[in-house]
Amino acid sequence: MMLRIQIIASYFILSWTLAGTPLDYAIQFTTGYDSNVMRFSTDEFRQAALVSDVMGGADTFDSFVYRLGLLGNKSFWNSRKKEFIISGNLHWTDYHHHPQRKYGSSGFGMQYRWGPYQNIKYSLRHLDQFYLRHYVNRDISNVSLSASSFTDHNQSITITQKIGRREWFNLTMGFLQRYYEKPFTEFDLDIYYVRGKLNRRINNFGTVAFQLERGSADNITFGKTAKASALNRSYQTMEWYFPVRVKHKIPYMDEVGISARRETRIYAAEDPDDPLHAGRSHIDSKYDLWLKKNIIESVNVVLSGRYRTRVTNSGYEWVEDLKSFQLLQLWCKIEWELLYDQY
């Protein structure tokens, strides 16, 4: 699947260079640090010292990260305020100290605009074989560990509409297919979500926004595969997101931003034989800070950091200890924006 999308994306990028309008594209290089790659809880840090197989071949809990990206977009039709744009991107990510956390991702989009902050967009995003960690394969035993990874295929349609001089609204409807590699196919999910976002531009300051998302995950392999599929992994989720971007009168910087994001997830399982999911919920919080500087007209640098914490609620104290974690991520992204217009 990933190879197919890469071929399609490469075809569009090549076709853009053959058309009669300029191609905007960018090359990105990102380096960063993740303090808790496998999202271990405090107890799991201690257990990993005794059971080395859970590390999946890694020697450390943290890792440096490298990412390369290529992005492009092209206007195929433009008439007054109306415009049709196609975009694409390819990324490759390598967690240097974790040999199994290497993955590719890609995206494709089509957008029709009919005015400022007035457009409709279709997006397709693909994340290929994202490694989580080693888990117990309960189809075999209660102790045998196997690598767990999944592939995402995410499609969405977003409508953007201006509702005032400085306000606009985004409405997104999406369908995410999250399918796991063997032997963990009992976790396969079809996730439907709706997202609304209200944006406001403030003169001599920047922008603020508030986003609310509701999702429903259907465990499509419940009861259909091996022994472990007898447990239902479906859940309901609600998330809010509040970003603030300051773009005026900032010393040495072109943009400073902060954001808070909080997801509440409630599992559908009620089976007493599934204490890991039955009656379980969690609150996942992410706090971000970023600084952006344009070095020259076509090159910008973004420094960012994220603190993430997950607090799990369950009728079992050991489940709360097992599924709660915290981490810190630091990133430096360099982007070189280019224009191809040799026709």
Question: Which structural domains are found in the chain, ordered by start?
Answer: 2-340 (2.40.160)
Give the pLDDT band (50/70/90) at residue 308: very high
Mean per-residue pLDDT, 307-327: 83
User: Which is more confidently placed, 323 or 141?
Assistant: 323
Q: What mean pLDDT do residues 69-77 have?
A: 91
Instruction: Supply the pTM of this predicted model.
Output: 0.89
pLDDT for the residue 299: 95
Given this model, what pLDDT does residue 186 score? 87
- Going by C-alpha positions, the residue among 95, 231, 116, 223 that lies closest to residue 164 is 116
| CA nearest to 246, candidates 291, 286, 288 | 291
- The proportion of the chain whose per-residue pLDDT surpasses 90, expressed as a percent, equals 61
The 10s digit of each residue's pLDDT in 237-275 is 999 999 999 999 888 899 999 999 999 998 886 666 666
pLDDT > 70: what percent of the chain? 86
Tokens matching residue 244: 């603030």
- Rounded Cα–Cα distance for residues 259 and 209 (Å): 10
Mean pLDDT of the chain: 88
Predicted confidence (pLDDT) per residue in 14-28, tens digit: 555 555 678 888 999
What are 138-176's pLDDT values in tens digits? 666 566 788 899 999 999 999 999 999 999 999 999 999
Q: Is the pLDDT score of 74 beyond 70? A: yes
* Alpha helices in the chain, H assignment, sequence order: 2-18, 42-48, 317-323
Residues 6+ apart with CB under 8 A from 225: 185, 186
Q: Is 90 exceeded by the pLDDT of residue 336?
A: yes
Residue 279 host element (H or E): none
Confidence grade of residue 226 (pLDDT, cut at 50, 70, 90): low
pLDDT score of 258: 98
* 50, β-bridge pairs: none
Rounded Cα distance between 143 and 209, Å, is: 47
pLDDT tens for 40-64 read 988 888 887 777 778 888 889 999 9
**pLDDT band per the 50, 70, 90 thresholds, residue 279:** low
